[in-house]
């Protein structure tokens, strides 16, 4: 294992040095140094219906140095590559923000900064990820520890045994890198994984020991789940053959979170292979639920213009073309309302744990 | 008014309610009713004339005196030379500092034509007495209220008479007067009258003592003087401030503005009442003769046509036309197509003079001026002129550049400049300092979409930026919103002309800004590549583990950069064509390397090398060199100015340049004399000039 890791990391290092080589070679040939970066937008992704994944197309965009519009971006790309290579050599991991600070300085003899905000450096890192075909973990960049897990699961992290059934209601904070090299699944006796959008609902379920009663693993990503959470869910699904259910708000953003978990995201389509869980099910909150569960209309929220635009966009995505989904979204649009998971508390504080989820699971009422 | 009174009033007794306890009878009331003299009226309503507060009053007094002096000089064909002196007056004690003082003595001296002895008292101590009201001719003053009102204000607040010295020629003696106004009768009262010795051969000196307040800043006497100089570059003005400082404003334009001609009223401009009055007053015996003789642009044939349309015999006596006939005549006039009034009654400042004035008084990098063709409102011809100065002046710009060198933290901004543009307004060359927002000029500036020209502007606000916008309205009758002449009334025709002039200025400014931006971005383009190359090479070196021959890579990249950005050629690609600097007519551009454009300041000596080649344009050919009135004086003035502005290079019209080409090297030549008409340059000549041009100009 250690052997493979070494060669892998050195291959990433070689890829990063390749950026410098591209500049040097172009300069020797008196050409404009250019990097080819795959396009990360809707136009360059396709939905593979067979695999149920969003895949990145072949569209590439040239980033050349001697073009006024791209010169700065190019310079930034080389700087970030340098910083990432430094991480490789020192065998450290770091955050996006630290990379931003590491590469930020005022260019000599000017008042111009290499980066003005982190918004400039983050996409550059993603660009490098995509164009070098290296995963973010391989680049030693970690995201925030954004998620929590609790349930009948035993993990080994850095040699420490973590029993997720014995971590109270706080659970275990999912690290951003959960590759087998760093995190091993020792034991798993659960029957399914429940991925909850919101931390508040996860807390409710954790407090009520929902996972114990229904023998499941509770995961949350606090909004759009970070890579660690998605990857962990995928591993549990793949390695332990657990079905994954997703519980999100009933609004376009909730639908999209589900779709990212299921098929992968447009921005990071190249990671779908590793992250997506094509068999994940949408358990709620469905636009049919308010009626079915008797939620009063007054706990809904009126869809705003942004919501409506977003919902219409979703309707056009290839991976939302199933009849069930078209109906689901159109039903929301025609009702003009969205519902938060929290709205279930209108009936009872423990409605989610005691009524809603048990009934859903019993009736197998979910969307695929 | 007379029209209304003539209309038959309904006479039948209206049923009245029982009379309340009668307290005053009609007879008693009648006893109380009496005539109000104009002077009395204005004593009570002095704010109507611009004497609302002590500070404004001081300004108004200075303004009225200076306006009169300039009008007189110009009408007499004398290049005006005016001395304005403000002194603090104290009653025996030590004079307080000017900012604390409440009494001032204003003395305005001109070396103009002087005033004949008999007229002096009435001009200075009778309201509504003057030469300007009854004729349609462009002048600063209009009604004949100004100076006598100033005198009256002085009399009211300090009790001191107006003192006048006047002399009409070297052969006649100077007369000294002390006059006051009899406010009841609106007649002058002469307190003192004698012959005195006066050094000047001709001219007038007015001294008024008033209660006032001297405070610098907006709408101050100082601002008035400065703004006057901008639109009157032909005036030599000396201003002695209350602090005792003497400010000299030398003459920078040596031509008297063409004397405006007097015109007859245009038929479209009169109202029915006015027509009735003219019908009564005319010397013509026939209606057709009256129409053709007393109006401008009415030919005898047109007069017949009007009579026919009105159904009145052209042979009818004008005095016999009233009532319905008069109304029919009025309607016929309004519906007949009549040519626009003649415009030789106007004397616009002219683009060159505006440019010159702006350039002298306001620091900037770009100046432009636009004169609109004459237009008409209510039968009165008028001309709108606009000028614009943009930029901070070179020194300030350089200072700002220095400040920006500090590294910027996240969220910090480079642009800290949110100053709004300044609008300076003029009517017949007189600056308008009050009631800005009520003025048609100000409204037009607000309504212009400056964003189209690359200048920031918030909603319904002035454009933002280091900018001065000048608008001048020249007309035989400027429609002011009040007697104190502070704001121009909002006629559609006037608004339209102002807007058009402003847009033209804006377009030129936009072009200038765009070109400067482009030139800078070209520079920046190469510059950013140079900066980034450094960064990229360093990063590559680190990536390669510090084993990279950095010098070589840098050199290679720099070569590519040079090739990609067009290298040396970019300088030439941005070359200039067309009339003015960078193809902008009537504009001046100031750069650290020099000044491009026509500055009508005579430059004493210019070494031939510094004269860049320039295409001859029609403009240049027309424009004669300013006449040198007092060679020595101007030369000194220019030298002083030369010292004040570090480096300057002036595009002279090519007429001068043709001579420079043949001048022996190193010999200083004088510009400023009329030179033979230039020939268009040949290509060979142009080619020979090019390298010189490049040698003297460095792109920023």
SS3 call for B51? coil
What separation in angstroms does the CA of B126 have from each of B35, B66, B296?
17, 18, 31
Q: Fold for A2-32+67-142, please state it.
A: Arc Repressor Mutant, subunit A (1.10.10)
B400 vs A contacts (CB less than 8 Å) = none
Cα–Cα distance, B324 to B22 (Å, whole number): 42
CA distance A136 to chain B (A): 19
Q: What percent of chain B has pLDDT over 70?
A: 72
Indicate whether A357 pLDDT > 60. yes
Chain segment A183-223, per-residue pLDDT in tens: 899 999 999 999 999 888 999 999 999 999 999 999 998 88
What does CATH list as the number for A147-363?
3.40.1360.10
Is the pLDDT reported for residue B536 higher than 80? yes
Q: How high is the ipTM of this complex?
A: 0.76
Best of A69, A88, A90, A112 to mutate (most B CBs within 10 Å, chain B) = A112
Average pLDDT of the segment spanning B233-250: 92
How confident is residue B576, by pLDDT bands cut at 50, 70 and 90?
Answer: very low
The single residue listed with the structure tokens 């010189």 is B692
B70-87 residue pLDDT tens: 988 988 889 999 999 999
Beta carbons within 8 Å of B515's beta carbon, 6+ residues apart: B574, B582
Are the C-beta atoms of residues A303 and A340 closer than 8 Å to each other? no
Which residues of chain A approach chain B closer than 8 Å at the C-beta? 16-17, 19-20, 23-24, 27-28, 30-33, 65-66, 68, 71-72, 74-75, 78-79, 81-82, 85-86, 106-114, 116-117
Residue B339 DSSP symbol? P
Name A339's bridge partners: A250
Smallest Cα distance from A314 to chain B, Å: 35
**Strands (DSSP E) along B74-173, which ranges?**
81-88, 103-110, 162-167
List Cα–Cα distances, B69 to B85, B190, B236, B286, in angstroms: 14, 22, 12, 41
Nearest to B168 by CA among B219, B127, B123, B110: B110
pLDDT category at A69 given cuts 50, 70, 90 is: confident
DSSP classification of residue A354: I
Segment B380-409, tens digit of pLDDT: 889 999 999 988 766 666 666 555 556 666
Distance separating alpha carbons of residues B344 and B177, to the nearest angstrom = 37
Mutate to test the interface with B, among A26, A27, A128 (most CBs of B within 10 A): A27
At B386 the pLDDT is: 94
Question: Which stretches of B149-245 are assigned E, i.e. beta strand?
Answer: 162-167, 174-182, 187-196, 203-211, 236-240
Could you tell me the CA-to-CA distances from A337 to A75, A289, A291, A313, A329 in Å, in that order?
47, 12, 12, 17, 11
Taking residue B92's Cβ as centre, other Cβ atoms within 10 Å add up to: 5
SS3 of A76-124: the string is HHHHHHHHHHHHHHHCCCEEHHHHHHHHCCECCCCCCECCCCHHHHHHH
Residue B635 has pLDDT above 50, yes or no: no
Nearest chain A residue to B557, by CA: A27
Secondary structure percentages of chain B, helix, strand, coil, to 5: 40, 15, 45
Chain B residues touching chain A at CB-CB below 8 Å: 404-408, 410, 414, 521, 525, 528-529, 531-532, 534-536, 539-544, 548, 553, 556-557, 559-561, 563-565
Q: How far apart are CA A356 and CA A284, in angstroms?
A: 9
Contacts of B502 (CB under 8 A, 6+ apart): B386, B444, B445, B448, B469, B471
Burial B131-143 (b: 16+ CB within 10 A, else e): ebeeebbbbbbbb
DSSP B488: B
The set of residues, in sequence order, having a beta carbon less than 8 Å from that of A172 and lying 6+ positions away, is A148, A149, A150, A155, A162, A164
Q: Give B534→chain A minimum CA distance, Å.
A: 9
CA A156 – CA A171 distance, rounded (Å): 15
Q: What is the pLDDT of residues B480-520, one digit of tens each?
A: 887 777 899 999 989 999 999 999 999 988 888 887 777 76
Tokens 């990536």 identify what position?
B543
Question: Residue B22 has what pLDDT?
Answer: 60
The H or E element spanning position A163 is: strand A160-163
A256 catalytically annotated: no
DSSP secondary structure letter of residue B460: T
Structure confidence at residue B247 (pLDDT): 92
Q: Are strands B422-427 and B162-167 parallel, antiparallel or unpaired?
A: unpaired
Average pLDDT over residues A111-123: 85
Q: Is the pLDDT of residue B200 over 70?
A: yes
Alpha-carbon distance of B249 to B48, in angstroms, equals 31
Question: Nearest by CB to A16, which of B525, B535, B543?
Answer: B543
Residue B625 in tokens: 């060199």
The DSSP H or E segment spanning B6 is helix B2-6
Distance from CA of A89 to the nearest CA of B (A): 10
Where in chain A are the domains?
Answer: 2-32+67-142, 147-363
Asked if residues A96 and A6 have their Cβ atoms less than 8 Å apart, the reply is: no
Using DSSP's 3-state secondary structure scheme, residue B474 falls into strand
CA–CA distance, A205 with A211 (Å, rounded to integer): 7
CB contact at 8 A, B240 and B613: no
Query: Which pLDDT score is estimated for B567?
Result: 52
Radius of gyration of chain B (CA): 31
More confident residue, A359 or A112: A359
pLDDT at B213: 92
- Please check whether residue B441 is in contact with residue B473, taking contact to mean a CB–CB distance below 8 angstroms: yes
Contact between B508 and B390 (Cβ < 8 Å): no
d(C-alpha B514, C-alpha B453), whole Å: 9
Per CB-CB distance under 8 Å, the chain B contacts of A72 are 528, 532
Q: From residue A17, give the alpha-carbon distance in Å to each of A20, A24, A81, A99, B542.
A: 5, 11, 8, 17, 9
Q: Which residues of B touch A17 (CB under 8 A)?
A: 543-544
Under 8 Å between Cβ of B625 and B659: no
User: How far, CA to CA in Å, does B257 sit from each of A359, B76, B362, B375?
Assistant: 96, 12, 22, 20
The string over B319-346, giving b where at least 16 C-beta atoms fall within 10 Å of a residue's C-beta and e elsewhere, is eebeeebbeebbebbeebebeebebebb
Contacts of B540 in chain A (CB under 8 A): 19-20, 23-24, 78, 82
Domains of chain B (ranges; CATH) run 41-249 (3.30.565.10), 267-335 (1.10.8.50), 347-402+416-567 (3.30.230.10), 585-696 (no CATH)
Q: Which helix (H) or strand (E) holds B390?
A: strand B380-390
Mean pLDDT of A171-178: 87
Instruction: Give the per-residue pLDDT at B260.
Output: 79
Q: Across chain B, what does the average pLDDT equal? A: 76
Percent of chain B with pLDDT over 90: 20
The burial of B104, by beta-carbon neighbours within 10 Å (0-12 exposed, 13-18 middle, 19 or more buried), is given as: buried
pLDDT digits (tens, 9 = 90+) for B439-480: 999 999 999 999 888 888 888 889 988 899 999 999 888 888
Lookup result for tokens 């000039």: B689
Give B394-399 contacts, CB < 8 A, sequence gap 24+: B394/B365, B394/B590, B394/B592, B394/B646, B395/B363, B396/B363, B397/B365, B398/B592
């Amino acid at each position: 294992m250690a052997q493979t890791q070494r060669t892998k990391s050195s291959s990433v290092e070689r890829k990063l040095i390749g950026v410098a080589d591209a500049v040097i070679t172009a300069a020797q040939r008196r050409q404009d140094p250019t990097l080819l970066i795959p396009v990360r937008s809707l136009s360059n992704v396709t939905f593979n219906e067979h695999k149920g994944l969003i895949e990145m197309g072949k569209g590439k965009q040239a980033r050349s140095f001697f073009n006024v519009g791209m010169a700065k971006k190019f310079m930034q790309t080389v700087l970030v590559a340098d910083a990432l290579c430094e991480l490789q050599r020192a065998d450290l991991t770091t955050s996006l923000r630290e990379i931003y600070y590491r590469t930020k300085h005022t260019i000599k003899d000017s008042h111009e900064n290499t980066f003005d905000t982190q918004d400039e450096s983050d996409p550059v890192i993603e660009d490098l990820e995509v164009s070098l075909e290296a995963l973010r973990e391989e680049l030693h960049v970690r995201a925030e520890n954004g998620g929590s897990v609790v349930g009948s699961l035993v993990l080994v992290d850095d040699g420490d045994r973590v029993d997720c059934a014995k971590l109270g209601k706080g659970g275990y904070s999912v690290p951003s890198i959960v590759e087998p090299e760093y995190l091993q699944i020792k034991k798993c006796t659960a029957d399914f994984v429940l991925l909850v959008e919101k931390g508040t609902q996860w807390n409710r379920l954790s407090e009520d020991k929902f996972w114990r009663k229904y023998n499941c693993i509770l995961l949350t990503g606090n909004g759009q789940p970070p890579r660690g959470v998605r990857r962990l869910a995928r591993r549990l699904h793949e390695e332990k053959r657990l079905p994954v259910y997703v519980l999100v708000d009933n609004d376009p953003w909730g639908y999209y979170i589900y779709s990212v978990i299921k098929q992968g995201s447009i921005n990071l389509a190249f990671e779908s292979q590793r992250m997506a869980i094509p068999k994940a099910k949408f358990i709620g909150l469905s636009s049919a639920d308010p009626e079915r569960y008797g939620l009063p209309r007054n706990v809904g929220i009126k869809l705003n213009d942004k919501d409506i635009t977003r919902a219409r966009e979703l309707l056009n995505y290839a991976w939302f073309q199933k009849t069930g989904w078209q109906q689901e979204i159109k039903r929301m649009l025609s009702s003009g309302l969205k519902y938060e998971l929290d709205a279930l508390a209108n009936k009872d504080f423990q409605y989610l744990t005691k009524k809603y989820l048990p009934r859903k699971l019993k009736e197998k009422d979910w969307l695929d | 008014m007379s029209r209304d009174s003539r209309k038959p009033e309904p006479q039948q007794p209206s049923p009245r309610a029982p009379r309340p306890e009668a307290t005053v009878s009609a007879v008693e009331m009648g006893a109380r009713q009496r005539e109000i003299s104009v002077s009395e009226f204005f004593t009570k309503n002095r704010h109507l004339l611009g004497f609302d507060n002590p500070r404004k009053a001081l300004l108004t007094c200075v303004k009225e005196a200076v306006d009169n002096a300039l009008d007189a000089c110009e009408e007499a064909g004398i290049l005006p030379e005016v001395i304005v002196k403000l002194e603090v007056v104290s009653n025996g004690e030590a004079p307080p500092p000017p900012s604390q003082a409440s009494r001032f003595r204003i003395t305005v001296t001109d070396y103009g034509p002087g005033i004949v002895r008999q007229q002096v008292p009435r001009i200075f101590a009778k309201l509504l007495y003057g030469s300007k009201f009854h004729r349609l001719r462009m002048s600063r003053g209009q009604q004949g209220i100004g100076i006598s009102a100033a005198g009256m204000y002085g009399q009211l607040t300090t009790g001191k008479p107006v003192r006048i010295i006047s002399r009409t020629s070297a052969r006649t003696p100077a007369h000294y007067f002390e006059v006051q106004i009899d406010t009841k009768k609106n007649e002058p009262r002469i307190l003192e009258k004698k012959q005195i010795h006066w050094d000047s051969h001709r001219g007038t000196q007015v001294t008024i003592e008033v209660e006032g307040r001297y405070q610098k800043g907006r709408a101050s006497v100082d601002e008035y003087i400065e703004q006057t100089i901008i639109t009157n570059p032909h005036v030599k003005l000396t201003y002695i401030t209350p602090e005792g400082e003497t400010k000299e404003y030398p003459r920078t334009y040596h031509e008297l503005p063409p004397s405006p001609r007097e015109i007859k009223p245009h038929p479209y401009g009169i109202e029915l009442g006015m027509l009735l009055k003219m019908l009564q007053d005319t010397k013509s015996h026939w209606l057709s003769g009256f129409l053709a003789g007393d109006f401008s642009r009415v030919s005898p044939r047109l007069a017949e046509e009007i009579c026919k349309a009105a159904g009145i015999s052209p042979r009818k006596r004008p005095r016999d036309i009233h009532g319905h006939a008069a109304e029919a005549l009025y309607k016929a006039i309004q519906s007949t197509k009549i040519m626009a009034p003649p415009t030789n009654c106007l004397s616009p400042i002219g683009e060159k003079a505006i440019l010159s004035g702006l350039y002298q008084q306001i620091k900037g990098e770009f100046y432009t001026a636009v004169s609109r063709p004459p237009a008409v409102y209510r039968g009165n011809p008028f001309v709108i002129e606009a000028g614009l100065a943009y930029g901070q002046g070179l020194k300030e710009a350089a200072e700002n550049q220095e400040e920006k060198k500090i590294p910027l933290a996240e969220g910090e901004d480079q642009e800290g400049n949110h100053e709004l543009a300044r609008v300076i307004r003029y009517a017949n060359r007189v600056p308008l300092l009050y009631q800005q927002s009520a003025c048609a000029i100000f409204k037009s500036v607000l309504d212009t979409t400056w964003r189209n020209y690359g200048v920031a502007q918030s909603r319904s606000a002035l454009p933002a930026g280091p900018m001065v916008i000048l608008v001048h309205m020249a007309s035989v009758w400027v429609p002011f919103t009040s007697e104190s002449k502070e704001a121009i009334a909002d006629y559609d025709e006037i608004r339209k002309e102002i807007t058009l002039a402003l847009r033209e200025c804006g377009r030129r400014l936009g072009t200038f800004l765009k070109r400067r931006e482009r030139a800078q971005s070209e520079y920046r383009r190469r510059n950013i590549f140079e900066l980034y190359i450094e960064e990229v090479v360093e990063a590559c070196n680190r990536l390669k583990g510090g084993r990279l021959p950095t010098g070589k890579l840098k050199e290679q990249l720099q070569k590519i950069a040079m090739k990609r950005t067009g290298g040396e050629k970019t300088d030439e690609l941005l070359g200039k064509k067309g009339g003015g600097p960078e193809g902008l007519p009537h504009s001046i551009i100031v750069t650290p390397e020099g000044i491009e454009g026509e500055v009508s300041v005579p430059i004493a000596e210019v070494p031939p090398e510094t004269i860049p080649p320039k295409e001859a344009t029609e403009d240049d050919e027309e424009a004669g060199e300013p006449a040198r009135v007092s060679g020595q004086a101007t030369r000194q003035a220019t030298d002083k100015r030369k010292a004040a502005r570090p480096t300057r290079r002036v595009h002279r019209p090519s007429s001068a340049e043709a001579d420079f080409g043949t001048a022996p090297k190193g010999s200083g030549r004088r510009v400023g004399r009329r030179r033979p008409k230039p020939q268009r340059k040949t290509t060979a000549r142009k080619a020979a000039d090019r390298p010189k041009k490049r040698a003297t100009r460095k792109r920023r």
